[in-house]
Amino acid sequence: MDISTIIAPYLKATGGVLTGLRAIQQEFGFLPPTTEKVVAEAFNLSRAEVKGVISFYADFRREPLEGTEVRLCAAEACQAIGARQLTEDVATACETLPPVSLVPVYCLGLCSVAPAAMVGGKLIGRANVEKIKHEILNQSEEVVA
């Protein structure tokens, strides 16, 4: 699907620019270089405005992620129970795993079962290196299969 087709349903929607950008990223895994131009024309905005929106939000990325996305919570409740150490340990463990992108996240709402992680969209409570490793391997196998 091309970008104009993806954003077509959102042209009249409230906050449609943001929802449209989310949809584009959903489709491609990132926002391709032509995003500003196409979105700006469709919503009657300047390219600078669209670029401003894209750069403001942490979720948007301009390049595809490498491998599985591993989001580790870096906020206080997780810090209180070892998130800083876990982040280091996961980074070390990932050196010998299929490719992953480590992305910090500020709160997944799992503060009562901290530390929290999200591996390729899957939530992991009381996260540790073993659980995260297991999930990364699981998901890489699925991709291969």
Partner 1 sequence: MSSVPTLYIPLDSVAVSLGADQLADKISSHINSKNLPINIVRTGSRGMHWLEPLVEIDLEGQRIGFGPLDEQDIEPFMHALAADATQHPKYLGPIADIPFFKDQTRLIFSRCGEIDPLQYDAYVQLDGGTGLRKALAMKPADICSEVLASGLRGRGGAGFPAGIKWQTVAGAEADQKYIVVNADEGDSGTFADRMIMEGDPLLLIEGMAIAGIAVGATQGYIYLRSEYPIAERILKAALDVARKNNILGGNILDSGKAFDVEVFVGAGAYICGEETSLLNSLEGKRGEVRIKPPLPALEGLFGKPTLIHNVISLCSVPTILSRGADFYRDFGMGRSTGTMPFQIAGNVKHAGLFETAFGVTLRDLVEKYGVGTLSGAPIRAVQIGGPLGAYLPEALFDLPMDYETMAQNGAGVGHGGIVVFDEQVDLQEQVKYAFEFCVEESCGKCTPCRVGAVRGVEIMEKIKNDTDTVKQMELLDDLCELMVEGSLCAMGGMTPIPIQSAMKHFPEDFKISGGQTTLAKGGH
Footprint of partner 1 (CB under 8 A): 14-19, 21-22, 43, 49, 52-53, 56-60, 73, 75-81, 105-114, 116, 121, 123-126
Of the pair 41, 59, the CB lying nearest partner 1 is at: 59
According to DSSP, residue 1 is labeled -
Of the pair 20, 100, the CB lying nearest partner 1 is at: 20
Closest CB 136 distance from partner 1, rounded Å: 16
What DSSP line would sit under 75-127, residue for residue?
A: SHHHHTTTHHHHHHHHHHHHTTSS-EEEEEES--S-GGG-S-EEETTEEESS-
C-alpha to C-alpha distance for 37 and 35, rounded to whole angstroms:
6
Closest CB 95 distance from partner 1, rounded Å: 25
